[in-house]
Structure 1
Amino acid sequence: MQPTDIRLFIPSKDFAFSQAFYQALGFSRDPVNDQLCIFSQGECTFFLQNFCNQALAENLMMQLIVKDINAALKQIESMGELVDKYEPIQQETWGKVIYLSGPAGELWHITQLTG
């Protein structure tokens, strides 16, 4: 087996709101059907599903690696009421990170790696 990609299925409590959230975060939406969308930006792709298991959503974490953490923070700040909770840039030993809560409770680690 030689994998070429891996894609996550992210749950949503409110499918329309979650779509708006990810579009405002800078991802392009491509509907698959009325229960599933593909979101992409560059080579990064994930599925958003019109389904939510709350325990799964609240324990789901993803790391999105970016080139410019300051640009990511500006993007998040521009999203207004679509963003419920985030922590500003924090310095870690491995780089800088913004912790962003998604609409269903999923946690994004938006990261600029050191070096």
Structure 2
Amino acid sequence: MQPSDLRVFIPSKDYEESQSFYKALGFQMEPASDDLTIFSKGPCTFFLQRFFNEELAKNLMLQLIVSDIQEAFDVISKIRDIDIRFEPIKSEPWGKVIYLWGPSGELWHVTEFSC
């Protein structure tokens, strides 16, 4: 077996708010059904589902690798009227990271690796 892609299904506490959050991050939205939306940007694709399980959402972690962490921080810090939280850019031995909690409690590690 040779995989060509791996896609995650992200739960949403408030489906419309989560859709707004991912659009604000710059992802393109394509409805797949009444309860499922495909989000993509470049080669990155995931599914947002109209389904919520608090334990799952609060334990879900994803890593989004970016080439410019400051640009990512600027985009994130401009998001308004959506229930999210984030921490400032943190330097690590392997690069830089922004911890970003989405509206359903999912934790994104927005990462720029050092060369």
Q: What are the within-5 Å matches in structure 2 for residues 3-14 of structure 1?
A: 3-14=3-14
TM-score, normalised with respect to structure 1 = 0.98
Task: Among all aligned residue pairs of Structure 1 and Structure 2, give the percentage whose two residues are the same amino acid.
Answer: 57
77-86 vs 100-109, greater mean Cα deviation: 77-86
- State the match for 1:28 in structure 2: 28
Deviations 1:34-82 (A, max 9, x none): 1000000000000000001100000000000000000000000111232
Task: Name the CA distance, whole Å, in 2 between partners of 1:25 and 1:83.
Answer: 14
RMSD between aligned residues: 0.7
Task: Name the CA distance, whole Å, in 1 between partners of 2:80 and 2:48.
Answer: 21
Runs of 4+ in 1 over 6 A off after TM superposition: none
* 2:12 match: secondary structure: coil
Q: What are the within-5 Å matches in structure 2 for residues 1-115 of structure 1?
A: 1-115=1-115
**Matched residue type, 2:89:** I
Gaps of 5+ in 2: none
Contact 1:94 1:113 in 2 (8 A): yes
TM-score, normalised with respect to structure 2 = 0.98
Contact 1:76 1:83 in 2 (8 A): no
